[in-house]
Amino acid sequence: MQRVKLDDIDLRILAELRDDGRITNVELSRRVGISAPPCLRRVRALEQAGYIRGYHADLAADQLGYGLSVFALVGLHSQAEADLEAFEARVGEWPLVRECHMLTGEADFILKIIAPDWDVWQQFLSSELTPAPNVASVKTAPVLRRSKAAPGVPLDAARPPGRD
């Protein structure tokens, strides 16, 4: 994968696409101040270099019947690499788990789980998560309210690698 050295135009392109992945190339080029053909070339280069991993719709979980979000802190009996990978593979098979992050500290993983209701969540917890191989402990925190959900990364707050 070829690394692209990011300049201010690239950062503006990334910010625009982060905020509106459905923007047309013509509108994107207008917003960043270059013509459409070089804008499209830059977008393709950013995709090929791995800065843009994909384009996704932001789905309304509650509108689709998923009214419950829960964070679960999972501790494992063993942190051997093979055991960590086995747990991650199992998590990959659970559709209700939307995010999985390995941690340092008291818990080994934090999972973001969505469910239609408390009964589905409780069934998942008792029949899938808690009895999973190598799981030693599960501490849960149901979400009462989401106050912020910013997509992507804060491009204006830090200088990404490859930028002068």
pLDDT at 3: 63
Q: What is the mean pLDDT of residues 8-25?
A: 94
pLDDT tens profile 131-141: 999 999 999 99
Going along the chain from its start, the domains and CATH numbers come out as 8-48 (1.10.10.10), 68-142 (3.30.70.920)
Q: Which helix (H) or strand (E) holds 43?
A: helix 36-48
pLDDT at 159: 60
pLDDT at 67: 95
Alpha carbon distance 152, 150 (integer Å): 7
pLDDT tens profile 86-143: 999 999 999 999 999 999 999 999 999 999 999 999 999 999 999 999 999 999 999 9
Model confidence, pTM: 0.84
Beta partners for 119?
Answer: none
Beta partners for 69?
Answer: 114
Q: What is the mean pLDDT of residues 45-56?
A: 94
pLDDT at 33: 96
Q: What is the mean pLDDT of residues 66-77?
A: 97
> Given a cut of 60, is residue 37 above it in pLDDT?
yes
Alpha carbon distance 111, 140 (integer Å): 9
